[in-house]
Amino acid sequence: MTGLKTRIIKLLRGRHNSVRYRFYILPREWLIYLFCFRLIGRSWLEFYAWRMNRSAEQSGHKPVPDGYVDDARGHFEFLKAKGLLPHHHILDYGCGFMRTGVFLVPYLNDKHYVGVDISGQRLKSAAELARARNLQDGSYKLIELSSCRLDELDGHQFDYIWAGSVIHHMPEPDIRIFLSNLKRLISGDSQFFFTFTPAEEGRYERRRIKDFYYPVDEMRKICESEGYQFEFADGWEQLGRSDHAVRLVLADGIVNGK
């Protein structure tokens, strides 16, 4: 009887974490998105910012678990292996709790790290984590973005851009807006690394409202049509990750990094 119950629960869960999530939380999120955002002209980005802010508030701004933070040391080592040096300026796009940033900031020259996110509540948690890790105020910058146009970053120039588990949550129009506007903040020597999980069976798929899966050829086409060279970055698989890391440079740029 226990085995039958387990099989039924597994069937009801499907690809999801729990039966409750599949049949209550997920439908509720879709209804909020459709009726409180999309139908009144508010964007996916506004919904996702609301969702992340709400999650941070519900958690009561509890300290970010050390294990979750320390797991991002691999991101830092990966970027160093790709040529990141202390004098470089880096944009941590979708920095969230700044778990990669706490390793980047001590390595980089002062004020050479800029972390951005659409969730102001997560940036508050990022500042708390930075203080807990004894990062000096003023040695880094955190900026809340209002859109993928990156207007808040005017005047900055970056040598490296890092977006870990961010593109995975963006619909194609937002990816294109971001890539188009990023070009004014970089040069021919700049490198952009991001991670994504390719779609299964070679076709676009959306899961859990927030996860967008693109076939490799489609992601390559999006990036190349916006003026970038696309290639997979080696070394990421050594971290034991199931996603892939991609390296973008401007199509007409000359890149000196690895």
* 13-32: burial string, b at 16+ Cβ within 10 Å, e else: eeeeeeeebbeeebeebeeb
* Average pLDDT of span 81-99: 97
Identify the residue whose tokens are 């003026």. 227
Burial group, residue 136, by CB count within 10 angstroms (0-12, 13-18, 19+): exposed
Q: How confident is the model at residue 253 (pLDDT cuts 50, 70, 90)?
A: low
| Cα angle: 105, vertex 110, 113; to 5 degrees | 45
* Alpha helix ranges (H) inside 133-202: 172-182
**pLDDT-derived band at 115, boundaries 50, 70, 90:** very high
> Rounded to a whole number, what is the largest CA-CA distance in the chain?
65
Cα(121)–Cα(125) distance, integer angstroms: 7
Helix pair angle (26-36, 44-58), 10° resolution:
130
Return phi, psi of residue 115, to 5°.
Answer: -105, 130
Query: Does the pLDDT at position 257 exceed 70?
Result: no
Q: What's the chain's average pLDDT?
A: 92
Instruction: Report all structural domains of the chain as residue ranges with CATH numbers, in order of start.
Output: 2-42 (no CATH), 66-250 (3.40.50.150)
pTM value is 0.93
**pLDDT of 97 strictly over 60:** yes
Q: Mean pLDDT over residues 215-226, rounded?
A: 97
